Structure 1
Amino acid sequence: MASRDGPMVAGTDGTDFIHRETVASHYQISVLNKGRLRKCVFSHLLLALLMVVKMVPDFLDRLDIFVLEIEELEVPQPLKWEYVWLVGSLASFLGLMAIRKNRVLLLQIYFGLINLFSTVPILLAAMIYFSEFLKYCTEEEPTGLQLWQGYPVAVLWYSFIMIAMQVHIFTLIFAWKLILAWKNRGTAKKAQ
């Protein structure tokens, strides 16, 4: 073996590394995708925090708490898909636990919950606001659009939808790769 700064061992040109031990591919895949999935989960939680901030006026109304400054913002009432999506973000904690403990079953449950309670509501929101968004994008002077603080609500929601959809797609990809890697970690030994 050669040291970083010292001379190389006599009789080798440095290309004899093929026989040396290497890290199994499923461990490499696991480490890489665990970090990526963790970033996606935290991005999802940041989006959930943004959604909670948007829904604070509704929560305060339900608790019969009146705060003038918040009421003056005139935030639109939340739709049902927003509640479903917000509940779906709680699955992120299950995903973090699955990553920490390398549990295939927990990750599979997380995968299903993200599909059902996060991706589906976002697709539903895209369908709900599509006509207003299309109207805003195609017409010179669109009329009849729902506005909040002078901005079209559909455009604001579509910005959120695009970010959330990317986070969910990448979350599903990385979770699926981890599920496959963790399921196959014992099959390589058994095949030898």
Structure 2
Amino acid sequence: MASRDGPMVAGTDGTDFVHRETVATHYQIRWPPSRKLSEVALNKGRLRKCVFAHLLLALLMVVKMVPHILDRLDIFVLEIEELEVPEPLVWEYVWLGGSLASFLGLTAIRKNRILLLQVYFMLINLFSTVPVLLASMIYFSDFYEYCTEDEPQDLPLWQGYPLAVLWYSFILMAMQVHIFTLIFAWKLIIAWKNSMVTKKAQ
């Protein structure tokens, strides 16, 4: 073998490539890859990112609940008590409990289990999306008052910031994470169901 215009290897003119060894077809990489396979892999990666984002938000919620947890355990820390963090509401506990479903979602992704993913889809709907929607209704009037009035009166504040605005910042982030989680989980469920039907047909 040689460069295009350079000298040839003795005994060949460079046109005998057909008879040379080739890579077996089952070891060859298909390019472009099959659309279905790449789409499933893409959705698995996206869903995994959504799950980790959900866990980060859950960590934020745990930090917010630390003063209440310490009160329940009769542990007094002056610096934390001085923060005067508002008492958690029921929806916060429900949402935080729902974030534990993230581990079920990660297991479903790793093991390609359609049943686990369906259970995860329902748990996220029930214990994550619904509490966040409920929270948006709870704080809506305060948030609306803050946005529409020049000098809103009697709004609950924390460290000088309106509580409703802080909660709406959290709600918007959480809602985006939950919506994308449900979209990617649903796409995976449909793709896995279709692949099962195809395998049974074969």
**2:177 corresponding residue in structure 1:** 167
Stretch moving more, 81-90 or 28-37: 28-37
- Runs of 4 or more off by more than 6 Å in structure 1? none
Cα RMSD after superposing both structures? 1.9
In the TM superposition, what is the alpha-carbon distance from 1:29 to its structure 2 partner?
2.0
**Given the alignment, which residue of 54, 60, 69 partners 1:50?**
60
SS in 1 for 2:139: helix
SS in 1 for 2:55: helix
Q: Is the 8 A contact 1:81 1:125 kept in 2?
A: yes
SS in 2 for 1:35: helix
Q: 1-side partners of 2:48 and 2:131: how far apart? A: 22
In the TM superposition, what is the alpha-carbon distance from 1:148 to its structure 2 partner?
0.2
Normalised to the residue count of structure 2, the TM-score between the two structures is 0.82
The C-alpha deviation readout for 1:49-95, integer Å capped at 9, x for no partner, is 00000000000001111000000000000000000000000000000
**2:26 corresponding residue in structure 1:** none
The C-alpha deviation readout for 1:113-137, integer Å capped at 9, x for no partner, is 0000000000000000000000000
1:105 maps to 2:87: no
**1:117 corresponding residue in structure 2:** 127
Instruction: Choose 1 or 2 for highest CA Rg.
Output: 2
1:83 maps to 2:93: yes
Q: 1-side partners of 2:167 and 2:32: how far apart? A: 48
Same amino acid, percent of matched pairs: 77
In the TM superposition, what is the alpha-carbon distance from 1:30 to its structure 2 partner?
1.3
| Closer, same or farther: CA 112–180 of 1 in aligned 2, 3 Å | same
**2:165 corresponding residue in structure 1:** 155
1:74 maps to 2:84: yes
Normalised to the residue count of structure 1, the TM-score between the two structures is 0.87
- Count of aligned positions: 176
SS in 1 for 2:195: coil
Relative CO higher for 1 or 2, CA cutoff 8 Å, sep ≥ 6?
A: 1
Q: 2-side partners of 1:187 and 1:25: how far apart? A: 18
Q: 1-side partners of 2:34 and 2:189: how far apart? A: 16
**Given the alignment, which residue of 61, 75, 79 partners 1:65?**
75
Q: Is the 8 A contact 1:58 1:77 kept in 2?
A: yes
Amino acid at match of 1:26: K
SS in 1 for 2:153: coil
**1:40 corresponding residue in structure 2:** 50
Structure 2 stretches lacking a partner, 5+ long: 1-13, 19-29
Structure 1 stretches lacking a partner, 5+ long: 1-6, 11-19
The C-alpha deviation readout for 1:94-149, integer Å capped at 9, x for no partner, is 00000000000000000000000000000000000000000000000000100000
In the TM superposition, what is the alpha-carbon distance from 1:22 to its structure 2 partner?
6.7
Amino acid at match of 2:99: S
